[in-house]
Amino acid sequence: MGNHADIDRHVKTYILVFVTLLVLTMVTVAVSRLHLPVHEAVAVALVVATVKGGLVASYFMHLISERKLILWVLGFTVAFFFFVLLLPLWTHWDPIHY
Amino acid sequence: MEIPFTVAERPDTGLNNGKIGIWLFLASEVMLFGALFATYLMMRTGAAVWPRGDSILNVPLATVNTVVLISSSVTMVMAWASLKRHDFGKFRLFQGLTVLCGFGFLFIKYLEYSHKFELGLFPSKNTFLAIYFTLTGLHGLHVIGGMAVNAYLWGPGSKLWKTDPEHFTNRVENSGLFWHFVDLVWIFLFPILYLL
């Protein structure tokens, strides 16, 4: 990012992302009031949260134009993150049923 | 001895040291919160019954807090953009607003916590409250840490702008990356704890 015109263009994007994040926040709250079954509610909430998180990471944190080294580091981090998240599933495969 | 590559890019990484440092730190932070999210998942899937967050927690207050934190992310990135435009006055305005939003977030969290304590809802009460206070408490500590750095850069740390503006802009960008991460964590905490 260099000259003022570039920055002005990015500022417009920031405002657009901000409005989108606000709208998605309202969508999350509105959907929760529908009292959907647990699985559907979790799916909708996580999809919306992931879109919001993606917008923050891509535009506010500039990942959309970041160097490949950073993207590789984050790629590994995300892989390990999901590995840690899946660890609790092993407790359900416990062969000792007590 | 001067710290090398604070502004110039290292030939091997193509990045300045501050940038690679903050991203590696954020990677470790992802794993820290990942471990706690995994704990939440295990507690929840292993529990016979689990309360809906909105039956215990205050959703309107948390929604306001979400808006406050998202707004602070925008003011943070605008502070950095102001420095890129060489407008130090605007930087001070947006950086100040970011710190104020942090105070606003913590004040609302204080209202939530104190109301829970008045009702006798402590972390020891049940598993839901234990994980709620652990996750939001750790997140709150991150908010305080981010505010401290942002306030420093707004105040005494901004002297660097006069002597080395590019280095100062990089510092603001790096503190901003941490602040956006704090926002990102909250974006997931809000539905998981309050709405499901």
Whole-Å CA distances, B32 to A52, B28, B142? 21, 6, 12
Q: A14, B77 in Cβ contact below 8 A?
A: yes
Contact A81 B19 (CB under 8 A): no
**B189: nearest CA in chain A?**
A49
- Inter-chain contact B31–A87, Cβ cutoff 8 Å? no
| pLDDT of A90 above 80 | no
Confidence of residue A98 (pLDDT cuts 50, 70, 90): low
Q: CATH for B17-46+58-195, among 3.40.50.11540, 1.10.260.40, 3.40.630.30, 1.20.120.80?
A: 1.20.120.80
Chain Cα centroid distance, residue B146: 6
Confidence of residue A3 (pLDDT cuts 50, 70, 90): confident
**Inter-residue contact B108 to B63 (CB < 8 Å):** no
Determine the average pLDDT of the residues in A39-49. Answer: 93
Cross-chain Cβ contact A81/B77 below 8 Å? no
Cβ–Cβ gap A29/B63 under 8 Å:
yes
Helix %, strand %, coil % of chain B (to 5): 80, 0, 20
Contacts of A87 in chain B (CB under 8 A): 38, 42
Instruction: Identify the pLDDT of residue A38.
Output: 86
- Here the tokens at position B68 are 């406050």
Closest Cα partner for A72 from B187, B114, B14?
B14
pLDDT along chain B (196 residues), means of 10: 84 91 97 95 89 94 97 98 96 98 98 97 96 98 98 97 96 98 97 93
CA–CA gap between residue A70 and residue B24 (Å, rounded): 9
**Percent of chain A scoring above 90 in pLDDT:** 71
Pairwise pLDDT comparison (A16 vs B10), residue with the higher score: A16
A38 touches chain B (CB under 8 A): yes
Query: What percent of chain A has a predicted confidence (pLDDT) above 70?
Result: 93
Is A64 an interface residue toward B (CB < 8 Å)? no
What is the rounded average pLDDT of the residues A66-85?
94
CB contact under 8 A, B70 and A18: yes
SS3 state of residue B132: helix
Q: Which burial class, exposed, middle or buried, applies to A67 when counting CB atoms under 10 A from its CB (0-12, 13-18, 19+)?
A: middle
**ipTM computed for the complex:** 0.93
| Domain residue ranges in chain B | 17-46+58-195
pLDDT value at residue B20: 94
Q: With contact defined as beta carbons under 8 Å apart, do B19 and B170 qualify?
A: yes
pLDDT at A61: 96
Distance from C-alpha of B106 to C-alpha of B111, rounded to nearest angstrom: 9
- Measure in Å the smallest separation between the Cα of B25 and chain A Cα atoms: 11
B 156-195 residues with CB below 8 A of A? Answer: 176-177, 180-181, 183-184, 187-188, 190-192, 195
pLDDT band at A2 (very low <50, low <70, confident <90, very high): low
Q: Token pair 């992302």 is at which residue?
A: A17
Return the sign of the alpha-carbon dihedral for residues B146, A57, A75, B39: positive
CB A53 within 8 A of CB B187: yes
The pLDDT value given to residue B31: 96
Answer with the residue of higher pLDDT: A25 or B4.
A25
pLDDT at A97: 62
Distance of CA A58 to the CA centre of its chain: 10
Q: Give the per-residue pLDDT at B61.
A: 96
Contacts of A27 in chain B (CB under 8 A): none
Tokens 């970041």 identify what position?
A: A66
The answer to whether B59 contacts chain A (CB < 8 Å) is yes
Question: At residue A24, does pLDDT exceed 60?
Answer: yes
Contact yes or no for B80/B173 (Cβ under 8 A): yes
Is B38 in CB contact (< 8 Å) with chain A?
Answer: yes
Side-chain half-sphere CA neighbours of B86 within 13 A? 5
Looking at every residue in chain A, the average pLDDT score rounds to 90
Question: Residue A47: pLDDT above 90?
Answer: yes
